[in-house]
């Protein structure tokens, strides 16, 4: 069992690399612990709350008790299936803001500025805007990843965007184009009514080539000889074996499992590895550190009119939606229902958006529990750039043990200030005329909660992860002790080993992470192949009044 390139993890970045490396004629072997993505729960966009809560598709991780959130342990879903988390996520597609990549570049990830990554975002996508306007010059037309928009035929979508406009915010036709800031249509990785995961877009076409294979096995550690990665030790069918890499080993196992594998392989903070009796091969204190995520809560409103998706929230309704999707790949099942979005700035002096909204014409939780009021709708809201940092550490030297995941959420005063702003700015938006014929009352947080203390109490109990963990194998300058990989994604101090997934993000991007994770795989493949696309000279839009006004 050997190949030129052995990739650990068939997730968003791993699938993209398998496609590009095999396309270039290299032999590729992908190791994935999870199994097939066949079946309606994964492939039907409208069923997105199911796979995330199914143990066959999810690693089942939980955070440590979070001290600022009443010591709650938050679920931390990661995809254990081909396609990885792109097979169990909400399918929302956001590139991130140009300012995110400017930060990456300035913090030591040279060659990852917006001008450098935009050509990869364009290469990877086939964009279909359904005639809604938008920025064709900024978008891709023939990539493997299909990006589309929902029909937006529920009147609540237009009401949400109009309310934002009435509150003084810009409207944007394409937040993935020149202008992210504002209210407008949301985009999703759906094609012909089906979830367009990294497995469907990249892995399955790659596996159709003779030089790309997938094996189902549990990766235990990277095998390192004389300072070089030469293979991966796996467990398969109860036996332990080594899969050899002729050229390189590439970890794309997620921001949770990539640092875990590095540490089990002897690469990480020397003191921590010694605690678990692991021989230190390279002392990299940054492995597992810099853990970031997006937190959010659902702002829920009861609806005056029975026009929400609640009318389908019964056995008959779900059966109808499911049957229509199964036979025609159309109808409500063909959309994730996140069809409107907004990116706004929380204050003057903030140069690009730092609050994101997902709007949903139904009041429901991720676990599928619907609001007691029945007809309702909600906006998921949260700040994009928290300063809180957590860590991934080992519980033991046994590869079978889940790592210790500590996000350290809400550990700065700014986190609390930002979330209070989210509450007050959202209330203002939903108080606009456009929403008057729709808002009956506020379900959650509830009008009674007005003071900082009351809002903080609600947040402690109701904040949830948006499931965007990243940053634990930070990409940066070689002389930065906290960097884990260099700007070519090579693990510093070891030959023949790279990491390419959301763990290498120096800082979390604005929005959902599937798009940037796939872009990371696309760009890493070019670094591996010794080539790169020419930088773009497109100029992204920043609000000209950002220094003096919040909107």
Determine contact, residues 549/358, Cβ cutoff 8 Å: no
Residue 81, marked binder: yes
Residue range 483-490: mean pLDDT, rounded: 98
DSSP-assigned letter for residue 354: -
The pLDDT of residue 266: 98
Q: Among 118, 13, 3, which residue's Cα sits nearest to residue 503? A: 13
Look at residue 388 and tell me whether its pLDDT is greater than 70. yes
Chain center to CA of 217: 24
Active site residues: 468
Residue 499, marked binder: no
Q: What is the mean pLDDT of the chain?
A: 96
pLDDT per position as a tens digit, 94-120: 999 999 999 999 999 999 999 999 999
Reported as a pLDDT band with limits 50, 70 and 90, residue 372 is confident
Look at residue 366 and tell me whether its pLDDT is greater than 90. no
Cα distances from 58 to residues 150, 345, 402, 531, in angstroms, run: 26, 34, 13, 35
pLDDT per position as a tens digit, 232-274: 999 999 999 999 999 999 999 999 999 999 999 999 999 999 9
Q: Measured between alpha carbons, how far is 365 from 267 in angstroms, rounded to an integer?
A: 39
pLDDT per position as a tens digit, 501-543: 999 999 999 999 999 999 999 999 999 999 999 999 999 999 9
pLDDT per position as a tens digit, 307-356: 999 999 999 999 999 999 999 999 999 999 999 999 999 999 999 999 99
Helix (H) or strand (E) holding 498: strand 497-499
DSSP-assigned letter for residue 84: G
The token pair that represents 153 in the structure block:
């035929």
pLDDT per position as a tens digit, 43-93: 999 998 889 889 999 999 999 999 999 999 999 999 999 999 999 999 999
The pLDDT of residue 130: 64
Phi and psi at 289, nearest 5°, equal -85, 180
Look at residue 368 and tell me whether its pLDDT is greater than 90. no
Q: Among 208, 264, 243, which residue's Cα sits nearest to residue 32? A: 243
| Residue ranges per structural domain of the chain | 1-150+187-292+470-538, 151-185+295-383+411-462
Q: Read off the pTM.
A: 0.98
Reported as a pLDDT band with limits 50, 70 and 90, residue 367 is confident
Look at residue 361 and tell me whether its pLDDT is greater than 80. yes
Determine contact, residues 81/70, Cβ cutoff 8 Å: no
* Percent of the residues in the chain that have a pLDDT greater than 70, as a whole number: 99
DSSP-assigned letter for residue 201: I
DSSP-assigned letter for residue 200: I
Cβ neighbours for 378, distance < 8 A, ≥ 6 positions apart: 298, 299, 300, 301, 359, 360, 362, 363, 364, 371
Residue 92, marked binder: yes
The token pair that represents 40 in the structure block:
């309606």
Which CATH code is given to the segment(s) 151-185+295-383+411-462? Answer: 3.30.410.40
- Burial of residue 253, with CB atoms counted within 10 A of its CB: 0-12 exposed, 13-18 middle, 19 or more buried: buried
Which CATH code is given to the segment(s) 1-150+187-292+470-538? Answer: 3.50.50.60
- Unique residue bearing structure tokens 């023949």: 496
Look at residue 133 and tell me whether its pLDDT is greater than 80. no
Q: Measured between alpha carbons, how far is 180 from 350 in angstroms, rounded to an integer?
A: 14
Q: Among 225, 295, 219, 292, which residue's Cα sits nearest to residue 258? A: 219
* Percent of the residues in the chain that have a pLDDT greater than 90, as a whole number: 95
The pLDDT of residue 131: 65
């Amino acid at each position: 069992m050997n190949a030129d390139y052995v990739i650990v993890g068939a997730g968003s970045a791993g699938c993209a690399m398998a496609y590009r490396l095999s396309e270039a004629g290299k032999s590729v072997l992908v190791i994935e612990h999870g199994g097939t993505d066949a079946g309606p729960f994964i492939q039907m966009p409208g069923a997105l709350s199911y796979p995330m809560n199914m143990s066959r598709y999810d690693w089942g991780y939980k955070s440590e008790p979070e001290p600022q959130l009443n010591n709650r342990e938050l679920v931390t879903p990661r995809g254990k299936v081909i396609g990885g988390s792109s097979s169990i996520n909400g399918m929302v597609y956001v590139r991130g803001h140009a300012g995110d990549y400017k930060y990456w570049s300035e913090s030591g990830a040279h060659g990852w500025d917006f001008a450098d990554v935009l050509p990869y975002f364009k290469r990877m996508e086939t964009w279909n805007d359904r005639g809604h306007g938008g920025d064709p010059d900024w978008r891709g037309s023939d990539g493997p990843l299909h990006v589309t928009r929902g029909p937006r035929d529920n009147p609540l979508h237009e009401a949400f965007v109009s309310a934002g406009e009435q509150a003084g915010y810009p409207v944007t036709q394409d937040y993935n184009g020149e202008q992210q800031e504002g209210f407008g249509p949301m985009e999703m990785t759906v094609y012909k009514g089906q979830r367009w995961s990294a497995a469907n877009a990249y892995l399955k076409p790659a596996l159709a080539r003779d030089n790309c294979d997938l094996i189902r096995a549990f990766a235990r550690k990277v095998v390192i000889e004389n300072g070089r990665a030469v293979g991966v030790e796996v467990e398969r069918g109860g036996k332990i074996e080594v899969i050899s890499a002729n050229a390189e080993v590439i970890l794309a196992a997620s921001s949770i499992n990539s640092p875990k594998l590095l540490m089990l392989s002897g690469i990480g903070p020397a003191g921590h590895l010694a605690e678990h009796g692991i021989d230190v091969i390279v002392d990299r204190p940054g492995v597992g550190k810099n853990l970031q995520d997006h937190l959010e809560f659902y702002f829920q409103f009861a609806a005056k009119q029975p026009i929400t998706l609640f009318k389908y929230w019964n056995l008959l309704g779900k059966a109808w939606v499911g049957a229509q999707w199964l036979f025609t790949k159309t109808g409500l099942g063909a959309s994730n229902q996140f069809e409107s979005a907004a990116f706004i700035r929380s204050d003057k002096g903030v140069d690009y958006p730092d609050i994101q909204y997902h709007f949903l014409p139904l009041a429901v939780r991720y676990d599928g529990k619907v609001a007691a009021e029945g007809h309702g709708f909600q906006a998921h809201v949260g700040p994009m750039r928290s300063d809180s940092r957590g860590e991934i550490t080992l519980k033991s030297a046994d590869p079978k043990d889940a790592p210790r995941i500590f996000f350290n959420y809400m550990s700065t005063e700014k986190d609390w200030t930002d979330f209070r702003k989210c509450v007050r700015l959202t209330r203002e938006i939903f108080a606009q005329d456009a929403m008057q014929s729709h808002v009956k009352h506020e379900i959650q947080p509830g009008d009674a909660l007005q003071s900082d203390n009351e809002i903080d109490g609600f947040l402690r109990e109701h904040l949830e992860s948006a499931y965007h963990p990243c940053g634990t194998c930070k990409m940066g300058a070689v002389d930065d002790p906290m960097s884990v990989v260099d700007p070519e994604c090579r693990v510093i101090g070891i030959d023949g080993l790279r990491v390419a997934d959301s763990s290498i993000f120096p800082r979390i991007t604005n929005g959902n992470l599937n798009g940037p994770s796939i872009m990371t795989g696309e760009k890493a493949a070019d670094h591996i192949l010794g080539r790169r696309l020419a930088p773009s000279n497109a100029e992204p839009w920043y609000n000209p009044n950002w220094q003096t006004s919040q909107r």
